[in-house]
Amino acid sequence: MNVKTYCLIALAMLALDWALGAAHARGMAPLWPFAALNFPFGLPFVWLESHWVGVRYSIGGRTVSELWSFGLFFFAVLGQAGMYYFLFRWWRARRRKTSAA
């Protein structure tokens, strides 16, 4: 595993996801672009964000800590970066195989 490449992908994902989240929080963008970019790892985060009630998260009448939101956000970023990293390696290996033939 090339840690440099993974970290670069993770940083790019973090910046893009943070921008999408900030745009959603300000009412400038819906949440579905985040879900599309981070499928399937972003779905728990999108589910939690759909339970935002004014100043807190409320699931079944119970208040949920914002730490869950941060945890699910970073799970989505790191998991999705891992998936994109392995897709990149697969694509690169396939491209090399095709060009060598």
pLDDT digits (tens, 9 = 90+) for 25-42: 898 999 899 999 999 999
Q: What strands, in cross-sheet order, belong to the sheet with 56-59?
A: 52-53, 56-59, 62-64
Closest CA to 20 of 7, 9, 33: 33
Average pLDDT over every residue of 84-92: 95
DSSP of 55-99:
TEEEETTEEE-HHHHHHHHHHHHHHHHHHHHHHHHHHHHHHHHHH
Please give the model's pTM, rounded to 2 decimal places: 0.83
Number of folded domains in the chain? 1
Residue reference for tokens 């400038």: 28
